[in-house]
Structure 1
Amino acid sequence: MSHREAVHSDHTLWWDVYFAVIAVVVSIAVAVADAPPARRVVAVSALAAMAVMHVVAGRRMIRRNADDAASVSVLFVQIALFSVAIVATPTATWLLFAVIPLIFQMAPLKIAIGTVILVNAVPVTADWLTGTGDLRADLAIAGVSAASGIWLGLWIVRVVRQSTDRANLIAELEASRAEVERLSHEAGVQAERTRLAGEIHDTLAQGFTSIITLIQASDPALRDERLALAVRTAKDNLAESRAIVAALSPAALSSGLPDSVRRQATRFTEESGVPAGFRVTGEPRELPTAVEVVLLRAAQEALTNARRHAKANEVAVLLAYSAASVRVVVRDDGAGFDTAAAGGFGLRGMRARAAQVGGTLTVRSDPDTGTTIELEVPA
C-alpha cells in the first residue's frame, strides 16, 4: 500500500467510527424520544436505512474520493431518509453532526454548500408543517447551523486537500527514490560490465592472441619452444579466468606487483624476441588490490601494444615508487602513432581504470623516438 492509499484509508476509518458513534447515539435518542411509537419506528427505520446505504455504497464512494453523479445520487437518497426521520421525530435533527461532513465528502463544493442549507431547512419546514415550535427561533437556529456547517465543511475540504497534496508529494518522492535506486543499480551493472570487459581484454583476449601467434610460428627449429610458451600462456589464461569468475584479484598478482610486472616483461621477450628491460625504483610497498590491478593491467596493455604495433628493437619497463604515488612506465623505440586518433579499447580501458583509482594516464608517441605510456596513481 502506498503512502497516499494509507492516508486515505486512515481517513475513511476514522470517518466510519465517527459516523457509527453519532448514528448509534441519535438512534437511541430517537427510540426513547417523547413521540408516538409509530413515528419513532419510522424515524429509527429511516436512520437504519441511512446506515445501511452508507455501508453498502457511501463508504465505498468516500474511499475512492468520488464526487460524481452517482455519489451525489446516493447522498440525496440519504438526505431524503434523513428528512423522513426528522419529520417523524425532530430528535433526529441531531444527526446533522454526521450528515454535514458526509455532504462535503460526497458532493462537489458548490453542491455541498447548497445541500447544507437545504438540510438545515428541513427541521424548520417540518415544524412549520406540523405547527409546532417557534418559526423565528427555528430560522435563527437553522441559519447558525447552516453557517457553522458550511464553515466546518470548508475546513474539512481544506484539510483533506492538504492531506491529499502531502500524500501526493510523498508518493512522488517515493517514486523519485525508486527511480534513483533503479538508475544506480543500472549504473552499477554497467560499471561491472565495463570492468569485466577490461579484465577480459587485458588478460584472456591478449593471452589467446599470444597463443595463436606462437602456434602459427613457421620456424621448425623454434616450434617446440613456441608450443611450450603457448601451453604456459594457456595455463596463465586459465588461472586468470578462474580468478575473474571467483571475483578475486588477478592470479598474476599472487607474488606481488614488482614480480608480476617483471614476469610480464620476461614473457614479452620470450614471445617477441625483443629485449625488455625492467627495473624498480623507490621502496616497494603493499598497495590496495585495486591499485595494483590497475598498474599491472597498464603494463600488460602497453607491452601488448608494443608487440603488435611498434616493431620495436628494445623496450624498457619502469615501476617507480615515491612517497605520494606509484608509476608504471613502458617505453619502446618503435614506430609511433597519432595519440589524438588512437581510439582502441586498450587505451580507453587504461584511462577508465586509472580514473577509478584517481590516477592519470599519459601517452607520448613520435615516429622518431617511439612511444611512452605512463600511468600514475596516488598511493
Structure 2
Amino acid sequence: MSTVRKERLGWDLATAALFVVILILAFTLPSRSAASPWMLVATACGLVAVYAFGARRYVSFREAPEPSPLASAMIQIALIALMAIGTSIEPNMLLLQTLVLPLIWMTSRSTAQSIIVTLVNATVVAIAYSFWGGFGPELVLAGVVTSGLSAAFSLALGLWITRIAEWGSERQRLLADLTAAQAGLEAASREAGASAERARLARDVHDTIAQSLTSIVMLAERGRLDGSADTVALIEEAARDALREARALVVVESPAADPSDSLSEALRRLGERFSRETGLPVAVTTSTQPVPRGIQVVLLRCAQEGLANVRKHAVAVSASVTLQVGEEAMLVVSDDGRGLGGVRLGEGNGFGLAGMRDRVALVGGTLDVTDGEVSGTTLMVRVPLTVQEESS
C-alpha cells in the first residue's frame, strides 16, 4: 500500500469514528427540541460528505494535488458553515474542530490562507457558541476562550507541520539534485577513465609498436641496398618483437621485457639491438640495484624513446644510456649529435616527448631534455623510489 493511501485510510477511519461519536452525542445529550438530534445527524452527514467528495483528495502531505481557488473556497466555506450550525445547536459539537481545523490547513493554497481561514473559523464558532447561549456574557466569554484556544493550537500545530512538510520537500529536492550530480559525476568519471585509457594506449602504441615498425622500415631500406642476410634477420627479429608487443598490449601487460629480466639486462639488449640496426655504438652503464616493476617499464620506455629520437633526429656518431639507482632512479640518454638548438620540452615538439613526460609524471617523476654540455642532446629522467616503496 502506498504512503498516500495509508494517509487517506487514517483520515477515513478518523472521520468515521468522529461521525459515530456525533451520533451517540446527538441521541444521548439533552436537546432543546425533538428536531435537534436529527439536525446534528444532518450536520455530521454533511461534514462527512464534504470530506469524502471534496477534501479527501487533498489530505496527503506528499503527493496531494493543490486545490483550485474555487474548490478551496467552497470546501472551507462548507466546513465553517457546518461547524457553526452544529455548535449553535449543541456546544459539544465543538468536537468537530478536531476534523475541521486540519482540513482547513489541508485544503488551503498557502500558509497565509490557512492562518486567515483558521481565524475566521474561530470567530464564526465563537459567535455560534454565543448564539446557543443567548449571547449571555459568561457564554460569550467561554465561546471566545474556547475558540481562541482551539485556533491558537491549530495555528501552532499547522505551522509546525507545514515547516516539516517544507523541509521534507526541500530534502527531496536536494536528494534529486544530489542524485543528478552523482549521475553527472559518474558520467564524467567514465569519460575521464576512457580518455585516460585512450591516452595510455596511444603512449604504449607509440613507444612500442610504432618504434618497432620504424625500425622495420629503416632496416627494409637498408636491406634494399645491401640485401645481406644479417639485415633480413634483423627485420625478422624486429617484426617478431612488434608482434609480441601488440599481443601484450591486447592483454594489458608490459611488452617491454620478460618479467624475469632485470632493467639492466633489458637496457643492454636495447642498446645492442639499436647498435645492430643503426651501426651506432651505444654505451650502456647500469646499476644492479632492484627497481619496482612499474618504474622499470617507465624507464625502459623512456630509453626506447630517447634512442628512437637519436635515430631520427640527432645525426649522431655515438650514444650512451646510463642508469643510476639510489633514493631515486635516474636514467640518462645522451648522444653527440646536432642537439636541440635551444628547443625545450613542452614547446609542442611532437607526441614522443609529451608522451614520455606524461608517463613519467604518472609515477611522480620528472623528465628533462636539453642540449648537451659540448654537443648532442641529453634526456634525463628522475623517479623517486622512496614514494613508490611507501605506496606499495
Task: With the length of structure 1 as denominator, give the TM-score of the two structures.
Answer: 0.83
Pair 1:146–1:81, CA change in 2 (3 A): closer
Cα offset for 1:367?
Answer: 9.4
**Partner letter of residue 317 of structure 1?**
V
Q: Is the 8 A contact 1:360 1:377 kept in 2?
A: yes
Number of residue equivalences: 365
- Check if 1:25 corresponds to 2:17: yes
Q: Deviations over 1:167-221 (max 9, x none)?
A: 4445444444444444333333322221111111101111122222222336443
Distance 2:26 2:70 in 1: 33
Paired with 1:246 and 1:365, the residues of 2 have a C-alpha distance of 38
- Tell me, in whole angstroms, the C-alpha distance in 2 between the residues paired with 1:72 and 1:92: 27
**Cα–Cα, structure 1 residues 92 and 347, in superposed 2: closer, same or farther, change >3 Å?**
farther
In structure 1, distance between residues paired with 2:126 and 2:195: 75
Q: 1:84 to 1:100 in 2, by over 3 A?
A: closer
**Corresponding position of 2:297:** 293
RMSD over aligned CA atoms reads 3.1
Aligned counterparts of 2:368 and 2:63: Cα–Cα separation in 1: 64
SS in 1 for 2:114: helix
Q: For 1:210-225, list aligned pairs within 5 A.
A: 210-217=215-222, 219-225=224-230
Question: Structure 2: how far apart are the matches of 1:154 and 1:15?
Answer: 19
Q: Distance in 1 between matches of 2:162 and 2:131?
A: 34
Deviation at 1:116, TM superposition (A): 0.5
Q: Deviations over 1:112-163 (max 9, x none)?
A: 1111122234434544666678344223322222233223322333333344
Pick aligned residue for 1:144 from 125, 140, 149: 149
Structure 1 residues 115-126: aligned runs within 5 Å? 115-126=117-128
User: Which structure 2 residues correspond to residues 192-203 of structure 1 after superposition, within 5 A?
Assistant: 192-203=197-208
1:315 to 295, 312, 319: 319
**Is 1:276 matched with 2:268?**
no
Q: In the TM superposition, what is the alpha-carbon distance from 1:352 to its structure 2 partner? A: 1.0
- Between 204-213 and 147-156, report the one with greater CA deviation: 147-156
Kept in 2: contact 1:79–1:119 (CA 8 A): no
The Cα offsets for residues 93-121 of structure 1, whole Å up to 9 and x where unpaired, read as: 32323433333343212211111122234
Output the CA distance in 1 between the equivalents of 2:373 and 2:323: 25
Quick one: which amino acid aligns to residue 111 of structure 1? Q
Structure 1 counterpart of 2:334: 331
Residue 111 of structure 1 corresponds to: 113
- CA 1:19–1:64: 2 relative to 1, 3 Å: same
Which deviates more from structure 2 when the two are superposed, residues 122-131 or residues 139-148?
122-131
Residue number among 188, 193, 206 corresponding to 1:183 in the alignment: 188
Q: 1:63 to 1:82 in 2, by over 3 A?
A: farther
Percent identity of paired positions between Structure 1 and Structure 2? 33
- 8 Å CA contact 2:289–2:325 kept in 1: the answer is yes
Inter-partner Cα distance in structure 1 for 2:56 and 2:142: 37
Give the unaligned 5+ runs of structure 1: 1-8
Q: Structure 2: which amino acid aligns with 1:328?
A: L
Q: Indicate the SS of the match to 1:278.
A: strand
Counterpart code for 1:49: A
C-alpha displacement of 1:79 = 4.9
* Cross-structure match for 1:240: 245
Residue of structure 2 equivalent to 1:209: 214
Q: Which structure's relative contact order is higher, taking Cα pairs within 8 Å and 6+ residues apart?
A: 1
Indicate the SS of the match to 1:343: coil
How far apart are residue 359 of structure 1 and its match?
Answer: 1.1
Secondary structure of 2:253 counterpart: coil
Aligned counterparts of 2:238 and 2:329: Cα–Cα separation in 1: 28
Amino acid of the structure 2 residue aligned with 1:113: I
TM-score of the superposed pair, with normalisation by structure 2: 0.81
For 1:146 and 1:45, how far apart are their aligned partners in 2? 24
Q: Is the 8 A contact 1:365 1:372 kept in 2?
A: yes
The whole-number CA distance in structure 1 between the counterparts of 2:232 and 2:55 is 87
For residue 236 of structure 2, the aligned residue among 231, 238, 247 is 231
Q: Which residue type is aligned with residue 318 of structure 1?
A: T
Q: Deviations over 1:15-65 (max 9, x none)?
A: 5466345323312211212245633542343233244236762146x4347
Report how far residue 223 of structure 1 moved. 4.7
Partner of 1:63: 62
Describe the shift of the 1:152–1:55 C-alpha distance in structure 2 as closer, same or farther (beyond 3 A). Answer: closer
Mapped partners of 2:10, 2:84: distance in 1: 20
| 2:368 matched residue in structure 1 | 362
CA distance in 2, matches of 1:71, 1:263: 88
Q: Which residue of 2 aligns with 1:87?
A: 85
